[in-house]
Structure 1
């Protein structure tokens, strides 16, 4: 049994990498709930007054936490799987929204209690933690370019750049100093373009396979295309 989680900034290419590895390693992929999330566009487009009144940031955080908890429970029972952003990163997004004043002190306390209860429940599952996080990182300019390229309308407002930068500037620190569930394989999106360059995609697949072998993680059940 092997589990890989994909981490990284908004727009870094997590879904593309999860799809790539899912095909290459013949693994189940659990995708982040974005397209069917009706709260997400409201989080980006609602006025400050409406967000304050309807508490969209807190509702969005709870919705993501619920879906990530569901996915990781399923993944811990599946022989081989890949998760497109996991429950481990959810706290970082909640913290950033709390620091920005979008989530109140009381809401953040409730969120942390709920997350702690969920993590305790995971201890009873057959597998306790991922085998590897593949972390996509890169320059802020590259992140913005990727966000623009994928063209989600609600992500394009220039006023969001400050939010993106706040997330970006603390992400490496979270991975280096706060994520302890597994070892991390870092891949620079400035150096590897898996979506448009076949050679880069093949190199990244090889890097992941080599890291799993180094960790002694069995993946004999994987079959390559």
Structure 2
């Protein structure tokens, strides 16, 4: 069986897909640390002045990096896990916030050194990296709709739309040209809604299982 990470934009449905695939494969599931993250609401709601003074963007990236490092260390010890976003995507968020001026060049340099050290530590584990990323991709309209439906109050501010669009606009390029940790299967969230359409959920499960069979990570189903 494989180690699988589920990647994609804020609101894309990573948690739902991780749960769906984890249950279908009988895997443990490692969820992104959101509910217990005290910095996340501050990152979304602080004014520019507060962001500059408190450095919430940098602190948030360190918090996520720490929790994702912990999760992937636990996952890579075994052969059968699903992670709701992984340490590999964390760099992309840090880079976008650096480009936007929310993380300084010095902070980003420190962040990259820490990430490099963490990834080198992973080389010492029984398994070095995931086998497969399930990447959820789709239109920006669908992303905004799903963020709205999810209803986290701190994500709803209209002033965040430009930030979301900046993240969204470069995500496909990051996956296509900068992510090399594993093979990738793309799921079009404009086409498949695994939460509200059971038939879509079954299709996504089969797409992932077929990919794992192709990779030699899953035995073909017997007729």
Alignment gaps of 5+ in structure 1: 221-225
Structure 2 counterparts to residues 206-225 of structure 1, below 5 A: 206-218=206-218
- Tell me, what secondary structure is at the counterpart of 2:170? helix
Compute the displacement of 1:2 (Å). Answer: 1.5
Do the aligned partners of 1:51 and 1:57 also contact (CA within 8 Å) in 2? yes
RMSD of equivalent CA atoms? 1.0
Do the aligned partners of 1:134 and 1:184 also contact (CA within 8 Å) in 2? yes
- Tell me, what secondary structure is at the counterpart of 1:135? strand
Compute the displacement of 1:217 (Å). Answer: 1.0
Compute the displacement of 1:51 (Å). Answer: 0.9
The residue aligned with 1:182 is 182
Instruction: Give the TM-score normalised by the residue count of structure 2.
Output: 0.97
* Structure 1 residue 103 corresponds to structure 2 residue 108: no
Compute the displacement of 1:219 (Å). Answer: 6.3
Measured in 1, the distance between the counterparts of 2:28 and 2:161 equals: 34
Compute the displacement of 1:22 (Å). Answer: 1.2
Alignment gaps of 5+ in structure 2: none
The residue aligned with 1:21 is 21
The residue aligned with 2:51 is 51
Structure 2 counterparts to residues 48-127 of structure 1, below 5 A: 48-127=48-127
Structure 2 counterparts to residues 133-152 of structure 1, below 5 A: 133-152=133-152
Do the aligned partners of 1:2 and 1:219 also contact (CA within 8 Å) in 2? no
Instruction: Give the TM-score normalised by the residue count of structure 1.
Output: 0.96
Measured in 2, the distance between the counterparts of 1:112 and 1:10 equals: 22
Measured in 2, the distance between the counterparts of 1:169 and 1:2 equals: 30
